[in-house]
Structure 1
Amino acid sequence: MRIIYALTLLLSLSLSAPDADADTLTFGVVPQQSAKRLAQLWTPIFNYLSEKTGETIRFSTAHDIPTFEKRLLAGEYDIAYMNPYHYTVFHQVPGYQALAKQKDKRIQGIVVVRKDSPLTELAELNGQTLAFPSPAAFAASIVPRAQMGLEGIHITPKYVSSHDSVYLGVSRGFFVAGGGVMRTFNNIAPEVKAQLRVLWRTPTYTPHAIAVHPRINAETVAKLRNALLAMNDDPEGRALLKAINFQGIETAQDSDWDDVRALKIKLLDDLLQ
């Protein structure tokens, strides 16, 4: 049943998804920021990896996170950069396997407010409408909302499609607060960041996964892993990683995300039925 559903999704998405040559590896990046911004940041990395591996690696994303989730389920991306919760889900179906992750990094969610906001505590958000990237954005949405629920803080979530949209909406006063993560907060336009401050931080978890679809052969996987790790020792590679606020790359294995599995999040369970 899961296989049939995934095939159905793949067919339904083929009209809206970019075409790719059979010899091209499509690398999907979770749309935490605008497609234009992500392309600016990641395309140079994919050009670098293409040169080092001899494979053609093409940037791809989706217009919002729910669409990205559907494309992961359909196995549309050969390689994908996905949030920790997404990895635990899409490792099950269609079977994405962790390849690498950001080195010496733990992901941390944040709740931001305008710099001139009088708010100083999470409890003061009770009764307010908050901006979030999507229901299943792990550190930017799932963890903050769960914590507020535990503390009896009742908020109305408004999903605005990306981390950048959250930050922009809060900076412009459309929302009193919103959820994000430190990496994207540090990567937004300086004029937007200057108008914001962090009100609250979540606990830390294993960060986003770089994972490969099971159809990718072992030889190609090995070339990708070696090229990613080699970036750590190459000045050009380090500069490219710095542009996305990575201090480095390290190998990853499936069990690295057991801390996320321990949270027993069920949000996307229906997607796998």
Structure 2
Amino acid sequence: MPNFFRALTIAAAVLTLLPGCSPGEPERALTYSQQAREGTVPVYRFAVHPLHSPHKLLQTYQPLIDYLNAHLINAHLEVEASKDYGAFEAKVSASEPAFLLPNPVQTLLARQKGYEVMAMAGDASDFKGIFIVRKDSGIRQPQDLKGKTVSYPSPTALAAAIMPQYYLHQQGIDVQRDVKNAYVGSQESSILNAYLGTSAAAATWPPPWRMFQKDNPAEAAQMMQIWETPPLINNSVMAHASVPLPVRQQVKALLLGLKKVPEGVAILEHLETAAFYPADNQSYDVVQQYLQTFEQTVRPVQLQLN
């Protein structure tokens, strides 16, 4: 990794832990989007939850949006990133974007705000929490985390916070008392905090870890995955009910058909996503059941429902 880029990424990771940079604060003037060209074709915002930093997310998802735009009739999409989970959830709560790619917990929030599930993004087997530690950290079993810091993207990140915390609970760790929980805003920041030693372990999920290994091989070589949770259900793709039905149907058909065309296969590989699969609102009822158990035994989960 070039020294300049390393300095920027390390600074970004550290800043997420400083006072005044709370990832739970709603986004105000700061937004990230790839603006569509001016024209008469209706433009619809496609907001993706913070799988990556805003810049990385735009780079990752722009090829998909370009593909969709090349095949859509009478519609144009613009991809939109958010600075953290709280900012994304505030947009969902306000029903601002036309299309969403939220995590399963945010899917429950969006269902209350007029959004409907169109598809599932990726294999369900790939949606699991994993713990990343430095090889020289001395962490080998969950009990080694007592008194130490664990980093997560957000308290509402299902695979990268809720499921790992439930795993620790099942291993006899009281996540409210035995460890310090640092919610640092993004998947990369969570991993980087563990790399820097700011946290003893990073909670994340497989796609960001695979991408980190690909983009930062020298840093990743000093780290290892140590535990993983059972899988649940993967992220959804949703559309607001106010989007015209023909537009929703086109987007759904294009997503489900990606794995059938060479260009689509390349896009899926770029996304670290196996395919988009049929799904609906009821597919995510299992998440509601999981959250009920988690809240009864571990901690409350607070989404921005205002």
Structure 1 length-normalised TM: 0.89
In the TM superposition, 1:178-257 aligns within 5 A as: 178-188=202-212, 189=215, 190-257=217-284
Which of 76, 98, 103 is the matching residue for 1:56? 76
Q: Is residue 175 of structure 1 aligned with residue 199 of structure 2?
A: yes
For 1:112 and 1:227, locate their aligned partners in 2 and report how far apart those are by CA, in whole Å.
35
Equivalent in the alignment of 1:66: 86
- How far has the Cα of 1:108 moved from its partner? 0.5
The root-mean-square deviation of aligned C-alpha atoms, in Å, is 2.0
Which of 45, 60, 63 is the matching residue for 1:44? 63
- How far has the Cα of 1:260 moved from its partner? 1.0
Check 1:98–1:112 CA distance in 2 against 1; reply closer, same or farther (3 A cut).
same
Check 1:246–1:119 CA distance in 2 against 1; reply closer, same or farther (3 A cut).
same
- How far has the Cα of 1:14 moved from its partner? 7.1
Which of 110, 121, 137 is the matching residue for 2:130? 110
Equivalent in the alignment of 2:305: 272
What SS is found at the alignment partner of 2:231?
Answer: strand
Which amino acid in structure 1 is aligned with residue 195 of structure 2?
S
For 2:208 and 2:101, locate their aligned partners in 1 and report how far apart those are by CA, in whole Å.
14
Which of 23, 47, 53 is the matching residue for 1:34? 53
Check 1:160–1:217 CA distance in 2 against 1; reply closer, same or farther (3 A cut).
same
Deviations 1:60-94 (A, max 9, x none): 011011111111111111111111111012211x1
Structure 2, unmatched stretches of 5+, are: 1-25
- How far has the Cα of 1:141 moved from its partner? 0.6
For 2:122 and 2:194, locate their aligned partners in 1 and report how far apart those are by CA, in whole Å.
30
What SS is found at the alignment partner of 1:120?
Answer: coil
Deviations 1:20-59 (A, max 9, x none): 7782111111112111111111001101001111321111
For 1:16 and 1:184, locate their aligned partners in 2 and report how far apart those are by CA, in whole Å.
24
- Report sequence identity in percent: 25
Equivalent in the alignment of 2:189: 165
Structure 1, unmatched stretches of 5+, are: 1-11
Structure 2 length-normalised TM: 0.79
CA contact (8 A) 1:187 1:244 kept: no
Which amino acid in structure 2 is aligned with residue 268 of structure 1?
Q
Check 1:15–1:104 CA distance in 2 against 1; reply closer, same or farther (3 A cut).
closer
Equivalent in the alignment of 1:4: none
Deviates more, 1:190-199 or 1:16-25: 16-25
